Amino acid sequence: MRFKIEPRPVPSRLMKYCSPLLAALLMLISGLIIFTMLGKDPIEAFHAFFVEPINDLYGIGELFIKAAPLMLIGTGLAVGFRASIWNIGAEGQL
């Protein structure tokens, strides 16, 4: 019996919503394992990654400063993809 891989015309509603949640859950679990293996407190590490950057206005401003170029890159890529132009080096051209 030969298996044939065919793309789905439309992903199921379950996969549409569960796949990002599954990816985030796997990221948290792998981070927990890595920090535990390094002998660090995973809760403290997650606090440093996810809570500390938004504790004050300075941190929020820094997030926007770092996110603005990425948003510009995404906008430029969206225009290029819409015009059927493929550009793989967008971030390097920043």
Which of 19-23, 71-75, 78-82 ranks highest by mean pLDDT? 19-23
Helix and strand numbers, DSSP H then E, in the chain: 3, 0
CB 46 within 8 A of CB 53: no
Whole-model pTM above 0.85?
Answer: no
73: amino acid identity, one letter: I
> Which of 31-35, 43-47, 61-65, 89-93 has the least mean pLDDT?
89-93
